[in-house]
Amino acid sequence: MKNVLGDKKSILILVGPALLVYTLVMLVPVIWSLGYTVFEGNAIVGFTFVGLDNFATMIGDTRVHDALWFTIRYAFVITIGQVLFGYALSLLYVFVLRRSSSIVRTLVFFPVVLPTVAVALMFQKMFEVAPQNGLVNELLNVVGIPSVDWFGSAGSAFLVIAVMDIWRSMGFYGVLLYAGLVDIPEETLESARLDGASGLKLVRHIVIPLSLPVLLSSIIFSINGTLKVFDSVLALTNGGPGTTTSPLTLYMFQTSFTYGEYGYGSTIALLLTILCLVVTVFIFRSSRRDLTKG
């Protein structure tokens, strides 16, 4: 085996096909898109070189500012929600339900495998106000609160998106973090208990530090996923009302494919890429410090 992997040719043969496919479907379009940032036009009318005009436009474009702010708000709220609820679920699996947690895990994980559009349609119906009240408004009416037009204002539409996306993905983070928690040696927990740690104290001083690597992976995973949110927002609110729930991805998509401005769309895509990169690097850097020794 060592001989095989020591030979550069065999490495090339083993890696080559996958690398070729990766290059064709990932790297080439990425570099292509990067090239588009200095052009204007689309596939129908052709392209003209505009230098850094797209970047100048982007700096002054209020829609980009709004979309960027929405993206950051969304990523922040959803990441906290997903990881927090996921962590709470994993603690529930490990410390409360223990061996009988499998059925609950399966049920909570179920929304993860449902198609986003189906989930979005379900939430649309649940929060509907016209032509007839959905489940949520009916419940509000029962307790004497008048119906709310959930998708009619930016704040309430954001709330519905947040509830849907957290509900949809917390099961996934629950399982991910559960895998990290079951790795904590029982002896360590036992000795902590003998030393008098229990409940929150045990979680704060033993469980969290020991599950930190997987917690961190979850945060990076979640924040990168949420910064690139597209399908759930598109299916649930289509960026509305107006453009108040439009993330960068949706604005990029509309700019490129509805307005036919491929160059400007690519410039927005570049902004998103840089944002993801900065956030990831920031989280990696801040995690270098070993909290267990702090």
Residues interacting with other proteins, by CB under 8 A? 8-9, 12, 16, 20, 23-24, 42-45, 124, 128-131, 147, 149, 151-154, 238-244, 253-254, 257-260
Q: What one-letter code names the amino acid at 65?
A: H
Q: For residue 114, how far is the Cα from the chain centroid?
A: 16
| 129 vs 212 by CB, closer to other proteins | 129
| 224 vs 238 by CB, closer to other proteins | 238
Distance CA 219, CA 196 (A): 31
Which tokens go with 258? 């509805």
Shortest Cβ distance from residue 71 to other proteins (Å)? 18
Nearest CA to 228 out of 252, 257, 244, 263 is that of: 252
Q: For residue 53, how far is the Cα from the chain centroid?
A: 31
Shortest Cβ distance from residue 60 to other proteins (Å)? 11
SS3 281: helix
Q: What are phi and psi of 194, to 5 degrees?
A: -65, -30
Q: Which residue has the tokens 């690597």?
A: 213
Shortest Cβ distance from residue 233 to other proteins (Å)? 14
The single-letter DSSP state of residue 98 is G
Distance CA 94, CA 208 (A): 13
| 73 vs 201 by CB, closer to other proteins | 73
CA separation (Å) from 172 to 150, 163, 213, 217, 219? 27, 15, 17, 13, 12
| 81 vs 239 by CB, closer to other proteins | 239
| 157 vs 181 by CB, closer to other proteins | 157
Shortest Cβ distance from residue 94 to other proteins (Å)? 42
| 128 vs 178 by CB, closer to other proteins | 128
Shortest Cβ distance from residue 139 to other proteins (Å)? 17
| 41 vs 225 by CB, closer to other proteins | 41
Nearest CA to 207 out of 178, 247, 232 is that of: 178
Shortest Cβ distance from residue 134 to other proteins (Å)? 10
Distance CA 161, CA 231 (A): 11
CA separation (Å) from 104 to 96, 110, 128, 151, 284? 12, 10, 29, 31, 33
Shortest Cβ distance from residue 164 to other proteins (Å)? 16
| 153 vs 198 by CB, closer to other proteins | 153
Burial class (CB in 10 A: 0-12, 13-18, 19+), 1: exposed
Shortest Cβ distance from residue 257 to other proteins (Å)? 4
